[in-house]
């Protein structure tokens, strides 16, 4: 149903419409553009009042997705690397070849609880902390 506004009053108009070969009288309503704009503004305001921005299940889905991505691409691989290096440092024994954090290559001569005695060259030995060992060149175990 369409309305025709003339001088602020609603006037109904009918127009012939052909449906399937039969002419039917249809009521036509015309609404001024400013009335349509006000109606759409009211609908938008109602919709906004029903569902405030930032709330809803999509917000929580995005937060959970970001946490999952961070876990699988950052925290989990780093944890695996840390455990691998810890196991490597616990398993160091006499005769192993190592690389220190300073880039010094050496062979382990003595293993203590928190330190190592390494031979760098003939008759040159260094005592280093176990946590400063970053790799084994022969096995390819390297800290990144």
In a domain, 14, yes or no: yes
CA distance 128 to 43: 73
Q: Taking the C-alpha atoms of 5, 6, 12 and 16 in order, what is their torsion angle to the nearest 10 degrees?
A: -100
CA distance 20 to 41: 37
Using 50, 70 and 90 to split pLDDT, how confident is the model at 138? confident
Residue 143 φ/ψ region, left for φ over 0, alpha for ψ in the -120 to 50 degree band, beta for the rest: beta
Strand 124-129 versus strand 97-100 pairing type: unpaired
- The domain that holds 143 is classified in CATH as 2.30.30
What is the pLDDT averaged over residues 60-78? 92
State the pLDDT at residue 7.
60
Q: What pLDDT score was predicted for residue 1?
A: 47
| 4 compared with 126, residue with greater pLDDT | 126
Work out how many domains the chain is built from and give that number: 2
Kindly state whether residue 126 falls inside one of the protein's structural domains: yes
Question: Containing domain of residue 16, as a range?
Answer: 3-50
What one-character DSSP code corresponds to residue 71? I
CA-closest candidate to residue 144, choices 63, 92, 77, 93: 77
Is residue 57 included in any domain, yes or no? no
Q: Helices marked H in the chain — which ranges?
A: 33-50, 57-70, 76-90
Q: Is residue 62 part of a domain?
A: no
Residue 107: inside a domain: yes
Two tokens, residue 14: 């009918």
17 occurs within a structural domain: yes
Q: Is residue 82 part of a domain?
A: no
Sign of CA dihedral 91, 94, 96, 98: positive
pLDDT (tens digit per residue) in 85-95: 899 899 999 99
- pTM for this structure? 0.51
Closest among 91, 101, 90, 95 to 135, alpha carbons compared? 101
């Amino acid at each position: 149903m369409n309305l025709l506004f003339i001088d602020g009053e609603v006037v109904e108009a009918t127009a012939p419409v052909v449906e399937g070969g039969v002419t039917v009288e249809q009521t036509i309503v015309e609404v001024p553009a400013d009335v349509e704009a006000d109606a759409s503004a009211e609908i938008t305001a109602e919709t906004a009042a029903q569902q405030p921005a930032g709330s809803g299940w999509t917000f929580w889905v995005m937060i959970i997705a970001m946490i999952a991505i961070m876990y699988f691409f950052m925290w989990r691989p780093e944890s695996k690397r840390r455990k691998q290096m810890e196991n490597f440092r616990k398993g160091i024994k006499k005769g192993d070849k190592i690389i220190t954090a300073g880039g010094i290559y050496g062979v382990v001569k003595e293993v203590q609880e928190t330190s190592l005695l390494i031979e760098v060259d003939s008759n040159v030995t260094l005592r280093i902390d176990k946590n400063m060992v970053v790799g084994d060149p022969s096995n390819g175990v390297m800290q990144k």
